Amino acid sequence: MTKITKGTSVREIRELGKKCSKCGNCCTYGAGFLIDEDIPKIAKLLQISEKELKERYLEENEMFNTKAWKPKAVKPGKPFGPCIFYDKKEGCKIHIAKPFQCRIMNCNPYAEQMIQWFYLNYLVNPDDPESVRQWASYLNHKKWVIEGGNLSDLVPDKKRLKKILDYGVLK
């Protein structure tokens, strides 16, 4: 198996994550985060403006103190549900322009490593103490982390890291 690290290239990650039989299973439990370049692509595919795309189909979510867009995914009375772009017959209605996270994070053997790669490259911000604290909290529930994802990798200065984790640095 290929070893994924924080520094693995986007091209390699796309390649490793591309296998998907489009069964739709994962699309019924929520949706993946978009990266900036996904927004114009999806808007173009749907022939609507980016503003309309955001208003009708997307919602902003926060993770590791970073905001990012995701397709809406709600079932009445439940906190999450099928993705707004998922159709039982068609599958993903925006397949050719689907969000980057949907492209790479799926049910293949690399999924867990790719989740961490995505978080580290798009959501965890080493310059934001709150983001680092939330990553530390995430790591508390994990038995392992990909290379480049340890707290000491993110904040090599031990004194600063301790201060951040002790809430001695708020911003």
- Of 25, 49, 137, 150, which one interacts with ligand SF4 (CB under 6 A)? 25
The CB-of-116 to ligand SF4 minimum distance in angstroms stands at 17
* Residue count, binding to ligand SF4 (CB under 6 A): 21
Strand, coil or helix: what is 63? strand
CA distance 112 to 92: 22
Only segment of 8-16, 46-54, 98-106, 129-137 that touches ligand SF4 (CB under 6 A)? 98-106
Only segment of 52-60, 93-101, 130-138, 148-156 that touches ligand SF4 (CB under 6 A)? 93-101
For CA atoms 141, 25, 30, 17, give the dihedral sign.
positive
Dihedrals phi, psi of 15, to nearest 5 degrees: -65, -45
On whether the CB atoms of residues 107 and 26 are closer than 8 A, the answer is: yes
Dihedrals phi, psi of 121, to nearest 5 degrees: -90, -20
Closer CB to ligand SF4, 60 or 166, in the complex? 60
Binding stretches for ligand SF4 (CB under 6 A): 20-27, 31-32, 71, 83, 85-86, 92, 94, 98-99, 102, 106-107
